Chains A and B, each alone.
Chain A
Amino acid sequence: MLINGVTIVETFAEAFGMRATRLIVTAETPEWVSAAVTSMTGFATSVIGCGCEAAVERILAPEETPDGRPGASVLIFAMSRDEVAKHVARRVGQCIMTSPGSACYAGLREGRMIALGNGLRYFGDGFQISKKFGDRRFWRVPVMDGEFVCEDKVAVVDAIGGGNFLIAAASHRQCLRAAEVAVAAIRGMPGVIMPFPGGVVRSGSKVGSKYKALIASTNTAYCPTLRAVEPKTQLAENVEAVLEIVLDGLDEASIRAAMRAGITAVTGLGAENGVIEITAGNYGGKLGKFHFHLHEVMS
């Protein structure tokens, strides 16, 4: 498949089942929302090293949040419900509760529930207050700037991690620009996040390593500097850089829509801007049950 001079390789992105939840974080101003969620989603690029993957799903206007203040929705992914619960407790406790004027609410209420404020309330040392309005329970935990308001529980749902596509370009600058365009097109789409820095990965990995202690290592087939010595290289002679967009989503449709939006944006730049091909990362289809075939996504 060729779109605007860019080759869409006939391959697929291989993604895995995960568990995820959505949190709504609010604060007095958009700046303090940003401070809270930036802290909360830090060091959450990959479950391999971070235990969870998290990022801002989208910024919310005051009329979209439970308390009518500026906010953001955050998605957190992990390999099990218990892992999601563990990281939610840690990150909300250390990054949201600590942030001035913040509050935290459940963004998902259908599914198996985990503790949100239900565990953090004990920080109130007996002075915490429960408020139940309708079927929603909130905790008011006294803190030094007033009260930290946090919903009691949040749902965890089945989700998908590891949707991806790779951008190969004629120069590093052109590759980076294409990746930025893709991220801009995807950012804010519902139900999907790009957990890596700026939404982009430059150190794509393959399974295994020459070192027994490592379960993954650099994706040599897509390293331009190894093209001459790596027999399995997948790169054409004119490719100078490859960047990957990794996507975690609440369902297949979200990831598919995000991949399509991102790839469309990149092909919009076209070959004239140095974009050579779009491909995807997979493990031969043996590890992940979700396969996103690029030609189907773009058809």
Chain B
Amino acid sequence: MSGVALSFRGEAGVRADLSDLLPERIAGLGPEEIARIPLATAGGPVPLGELFNVKTLATETGGAEGSLLIRSGGAVLDRVGARMGKGLIEVEGDVGDLAGAQMSGGTLRIRGNAGNRLGGVLPGETKGMRNGLILLSGDAGDRVGERLRRGTIVIDGSVGADCGAFMTAGTVAVAGGCGPRPGFGMRRGSLILGTEPASLPVGFVDAGIRDWVFLRLLQSYLAETGGWLAARTLGRSRRYIGNLAEHGLGEILVLP
């Protein structure tokens, strides 16, 4: 079989945890087997089939082997793609909190908005996303890319507070505005902003303006995915380095 499409058919506002629904987990399973996977909801575990229509992607979109298409409808789907290691998850609609948290590979593409901690850290853990690519067409909440270690998060909209907080490597690119304290506690990594932030946290210093060759490489990497950075004309970008209290090897780049 090829990919799988899940279309939410429950009542609007239902909250479900999709952390068990990963491409590597469903690979080789048929629609009926997938429909029996229990999902955690506010009312207790529910078979996936009670909330979603399950179809193979080949009949709908011709999706690639192991790919997962989720039409979220009115549901609040948390932890979509959390701990994902490979493959592709595409979401049509909004997702809840912790989408792509602690991903270690693959691509999570969300055509909608995301809640808090996109590509962030699961409760009780100390390290964030380790690899992979997250593409978000809308806005995201607070703490995007928290404790990011590797991988790339590209957001076409705006984000809330503490974007890239405590990053230790990797790349977060945000086209729209940033909430307070972007890069808070950042040690390394790149936070790329398409819009000048209202303010930066203490610990960042202006390191000048120039062309950055590595941005061309990032743009080339994203060329096939679309999104704001792939389409943006690169120019001389201002770089702030910080957080100086955390060795100052991180950077916030503000594109012209």
User: Do residues A67 and B221 form an inter-chain contact, with CB atoms below 8 A?
Assistant: no
Given A132-B150, A133-B152, decide whether A68 and B169 contact each other with a Cβ distance below 8 A.
no
Residue of B nearest to A146 (CB): B210
Q: Is the CB of B212 within 8 A of A147?
A: yes
Question: B158 contacts the other chain (Cβ, under 8 Å)?
Answer: no
What total of chain A residues lie within 8 Å of the partner, measured CB to CB? 18
> Which residues of chain A in 235-259 are interfacial with respect to chain B, using CB atoms and an 8 Å cutoff?
none
Assign chain B's interface to a size class. Answer: 20 to 34
Say yes or no for B147: interface residue by CB 8 A criterion.
no
User: CB of A69 within 8 A of chain B?
Assistant: yes
The verdict on A67 contacting B216 (CB below 8 Å), with A129-B188, A131-B171, A133-B221 known, is yes
Contact check: which of A66, A131, A134, A136 meets B190 at CB < 8 Å? Answer: A131
Total A-B Cβ pairs within 8 A: 51
Is A131 a contact partner of B249 (Cβ separation < 8 A)? no
Is B213 within 8 A of A149, CB to CB?
yes
B249 lies within 8 A of A133 (CB): no
CA distance A133 to B213 in the complex (A): 13
Dominant secondary structure at the A interface: strand
- Known contacts A146-B210, A147-B212, A131 near B188 by CB under 8 Å: no
- Pick from B150, B214, B220: contact of A149, CB under 8 Å: B214
Known: A129-B249, A133-B152. A66 touches B214 (CB 8 A): no
A134 to B106, CA, bound (A): 9
Closest beta carbon of chain B to A153's beta carbon, Å? 15
CB distance from B240 to the nearest CB of A (A): 14
Q: Judging by beta carbons under 8 Å apart, are B152 and A130 in contact?
A: no
Cβ of A52 under 8 Å from chain B: no
CB-CB contacts of B159-193 with A at 8 A, as 1s and 0s?
A: 00000000001110000000000000000101000
Q: Is A283 an interface residue (CB 8 A)?
A: no
B212-A133 in contact (CB<8A): no
Q: How far is the CB of B231 from chain A (nearest CB, A)?
A: 14
- Determine whether the beta carbon of A103 is less than 8 Å from that of B213: yes
Q: Are B221 and A134 in contact (CB under 8 A)?
A: yes
- Decide if B217 is an interface residue (CB 8 Å cutoff): yes
A131 to B213 alpha-carbon distance, docked (Å): 12
CB-CB nearest in chain A for B169 = A130
- A131 near B214 (CB under 8 angstroms)? yes
Q: Mark B96-137, 1 if CB is under 8 A from A, else 0.
A: 000000000000000000000000000000000001010000
Q: Which of A103, A129, A133, A147 has the most CB of B within 10 A?
A: A133
Which residues of chain A come closer than 8 Å to B212, judged between CB atoms?
146-147
A140 close to chain B: CB less than 8 A:
yes
Residues of A within 8 A of B220 (CB): 66-68, 133
Interface core residue of B150, B211, B217 (most chain A CB under 10 Å): B217
A172 CB to closest chain B CB (Å) equals 46
When C-beta atoms are compared, the residue in chain A nearest to B222 turns out to be A133
- Contact A147 to B214, CB < 8 A, known contacts A129-B249, A130-B169: yes
Q: Which residues of B contact A131 (CB under 8 A)?
A: 171, 190, 214, 217-218
- 15 further contact pairs, Cβ within 8 A, besides A131-B218, A132-B150, A140-B214: A66-B216, A66-B220, A67-B213, A67-B220, A103-B213, A127-B249, A129-B188, A129-B190, A129-B251, A131-B217, A134-B133, A138-B214, A146-B212, A147-B212, A149-B213
